[in-house]
Amino acid sequence: MRNRFRPQAAKTIVHGSKNPGQRRERMKKVNIRELAQVLNISVATVSKALRDSHEISAETKKKVVEMAALLNYTPNPHASSLRKKNSKTIGVILPKVADNFFSLAINGIQSIAESKGYHLLIYLSHDKFINEKLIVADCGSGRVDGILISISGDTETAEHLRQLNEENIPIVFFDRDFDGFDTARVITNDRECGYMAGKHLVEKGMQRPVFLSISSSLPICKERAEGFEQAIRESGIVASPAYQPVLYCEGSDEAIFEQIKTIISQQDGPDAVVASVEKIALQVYMACQELGIHIPAALKVIAFSTLETAPILNPSLTTITQPAFEIGKTAAEILFKGIEKKNFDLKGEKIILPSRLIERASTQ
Amino acid sequence: MRNRFRPQAAKTIVHGSKNPGQRRERMKKVNIRELAQVLNISVATVSKALRDSHEISAETKKKVVEMAALLNYTPNPHASSLRKKNSKTIGVILPKVADNFFSLAINGIQSIAESKGYHLLIYLSHDKFINEKLIVADCGSGRVDGILISISGDTETAEHLRQLNEENIPIVFFDRDFDGFDTARVITNDRECGYMAGKHLVEKGMQRPVFLSISSSLPICKERAEGFEQAIRESGIVASPAYQPVLYCEGSDEAIFEQIKTIISQQDGPDAVVASVEKIALQVYMACQELGIHIPAALKVIAFSTLETAPILNPSLTTITQPAFEIGKTAAEILFKGIEKKNFDLKGEKIILPSRLIERASTQ
DNA sequence: CTGAAAGCGCTAACAT
DNA sequence: ATGTTAGCGCTTTCAG
């Protein structure tokens, strides 16, 4: 293992150095008592002065703040959290971070959190309920003041969330919500967009357009698929008996890739596909490249995606683009309402930020 | 504002509901004392039992664990952190999250953190030193047990990091390091790759290849640029007086885009460019598309990038691809050595994980 | 306006 | 093997 690396600087040898025993003992960080001692005032006064309490004289405040800066004092967040019963932290639970949508959403969330002086604890469920459950449990007991979650693909119960609700920790869904749990959700108009995608392909004269879904339980996929199916039904396409408007690709990335190749290369296969998520779109492109299937001549492609590179793909990709940043931002804003206003009720809040279809060469 | 939204479910009204005063008071989470009380044993025993201490009988342990599960007890992390003086949390400071490199790096970091039972606090500096400084200060006083940082583009001092070092919080650089601060760093072979890029273009017969840098101070850019220049020098290209092998694009995204357009469209402009970072590559493609410059016929392009879509771009993009996941993973592994082994010295640790040049159509 | 003191929930040293 | 107790560093009544 080690020989993969090429250390370029010799490792400094410190064992047996001059000052044994003082290395690595976490250096005594100055605490509020010491700060008070130096100033010859009480800790209570210091504490209040630092929090800019009105019951402290301007003069004292100044002295305290200056000395704090001088001694590089910063309050211990754990002590403070323990006492105040809040953490100034929110938990963000995502299926993955490698999807551009989630990167953008994190930016939106971060922009709000930063302005509120909150910290962001990020968790990845890797799209597995089993992980999500552990993570949610970890967020309990005051570790976070609120949770923003995009549910995993195979979550089928909300018991874990209910648990947290017991503790009165506000939860907001963003993008991927869960029907069986009533709390605020910030999502996009998935059904409508599925319909738009279907309509767009029908208008292009497609006869066997197929929606490639990754989950039959995930609301975003279900909604998109249903909207799509409705468009197909309304179109009056005379279906051959073998034609299925919605197909499922499940399993590992490799498995999905194989399924896609099978689907698009078969006799009487689709003449157009809708990728339900970004990953599927890339795999369709890769598959077409590998199999020599021409987009859009032999296969038209639309993808639900926020891919920045959509306009410069070969060919450029028609997308239904979610307002990812805004979704993250809005979800965070609502969460903070729930955190700050003790009597703000998140139940029933449902905000829908619309996505847009951007036509490019892949459906020309 | 509100009318952009379409609430689909009526908002449940709870004001003045049956049980006033108990709503939204954070419900009394059961704590260790209550758990002990219920079991008729001491808190010390409960604490030890839950931590699987050897000085507790198997029988007692079982009882405790079962009751804890039943009452849904989870220890308060702040109390525990305060007492134990650790947080089981590491801070990750990134310039941004929208670059694919950092998404992948986070995955690598997360994979290690998860296996160690650590939490991940993520901070975005937006590539500004002023933010970075605040963030680093925030990480002090025990909020995190260690820091993974990819330095911002305009950081020119390490005072803020030194401050943390006083507290003996281990710090590991990944990808973007800072020369003036001695700690572990996990980077890639930037100079060598710059050289490879230059060599590759020279071999293709290019006469005026240009390296597009985004910073003259950021080590990764400097190294890449220097390697590139060396390749050009060695190539024996007879430079016209106007030819500059390294050009800088700085400012906002829009400003950079304009600069790029100017550079590639000018008389005797470059016949090839190397994009120092992912963002520049996309902008070069966009610019070429807009200006009708053909890649690779009129302009060859190489990019330092981990873009997944590189193979399906138009044309497919020759990249120098960093092992982003491994860099994150390795950095986290080293950090944990620093956290766990009190006498492990991070100074002088320097691990270089090589990138690879992958030739595609943009330099054909 | 300032200070003394209680205690948030937990862990660990020190009994028993 | 189990229990008692003293804090970790801070905030917050409550008194002065």
Q: Are residues B196 and B313 in the same domain?
A: yes
Report the pLDDT value the prediction gives residue A155, as an integer from 0 to 100: 85
Contact A171/A146 with Cβ under 8 angstroms? yes
Nearest residue (CA) to C1' of C5: A44
> Contact A26/B123, CB-based, under 8 Å?
no
> Contact B348/A10, CB-based, under 8 Å?
yes
Nearest CB to B350; choose among A4, A9, A166: A9
Q: Are residues B146 and B197 in the same domain?
A: no
Nearest CA in chain B to A4: B353
Nearest CB to B313; choose among A96, A182, A314: A314
* Cβ burial, residue B177 (10 Å; 0-12/13-18/19+): buried
Nearest residue (CA) to C1' of D12: A44
- B113 versus B341: the higher-pLDDT residue is B113
Residues in chain B within 8 Å Cβ distance of A113: none
Asked whether residue A81 is domain-assigned, the answer is no
Give the span between the Cα atoms of A239 and A206, in whole angstroms.
12
Nearest CA in chain A to B138: A74
Q: Are residues A149 and A194 in the same domain?
A: no
Work out whether the CA dihedral B218, B221, B225, B228 comes out positive or negative: positive
Nearest CB to A87; choose among B78, B107, B349: B78
Does the C-beta of B166 come within 7 A of strand D?
no
> Contact B26/A85, CB-based, under 8 Å?
yes
Q: Look at residue B129 and give its three-state secondary structure.
A: helix
Give the span between the Cα atoms of A95 and A106, in whole angstroms.
12
Report the pLDDT value the prediction gives residue A235, as an integer from 0 to 100: 87
pLDDT tens digits along A153-185: 888 899 899 988 888 899 999 999 998 899 999
Indicate the angle between helix axes B58-70 and B43-50, nearest 10 degrees: 90
Q: Are residues B67 and B105 in the same domain?
A: no
Q: Residue A232: give its domain's CATH number.
A: 3.40.50.2300
Does the C-beta of A51 come within 7 A of strand D?
yes
Report the pLDDT value the prediction gives residue A29, as an integer from 0 to 100: 82
Where chain A has pLDDT below 50, the residues are 1-26
Alpha-carbon separation of residue B84 from B80, B88, B339 (angstroms)? 6, 10, 14
Q: Are residues A305 and A210 in the same domain?
A: yes
Asked whether residue B364 is domain-assigned, the answer is no
Report the pLDDT value the prediction gives residue A16, as an integer from 0 to 100: 29
Asked whether residue B2 is domain-assigned, the answer is no
> If you average pLDDT over every residue of chain B, what do you get?
89
Preceding omega of A241 cis (within 30 degrees of 0): no
Strand C positions within 7 A of protein Cβ atoms:
1-5, 7-13
* pLDDT-based confidence at residue B318 (cuts at 50, 70, 90): very high
Phi-psi region of A39 (alpha: psi -120 to 50; beta: other; left: phi over 0): alpha
Mean pLDDT of B196-200: 96
Q: Look at residue B124 and give its three-state secondary structure.
A: strand
Q: Cite the DSSP H helix spans in chain A.
A: 32-39, 43-50, 58-70, 77-84, 100-116, 129-138, 159-166, 190-203, 219-235, 253-265, 278-291, 324-340
Residue B48 in this model has a pLDDT that exceeds 80: yes
Rg (CA), chain A: 27
Percentage of residues in chain B having pLDDT higher than 70: 92
* pLDDT-based confidence at residue B27 (cuts at 50, 70, 90): low
Nearest CA in chain A to B87: A78
Enclosing domain of residue A227: 190-321
Residue B91: other Cβ atoms inside 10 A:
26
Q: Are residues B197 and B317 in the same domain?
A: yes
Residue B287 in this model has a pLDDT that exceeds 80: yes
Residues in chain B within 8 Å Cβ distance of A284: none
Q: Are residues A95 and A150 in the same domain?
A: yes
Report the pLDDT value the prediction gives residue A22, as an integer from 0 to 100: 37
pLDDT tens digits along A267-297: 888 999 999 999 999 999 999 999 999 999 9
Most distant CA atoms of chain B, gap in Å:
88
Asked whether residue B296 is domain-assigned, the answer is yes
Does the C-beta of B78 come within 7 A of strand D?
no
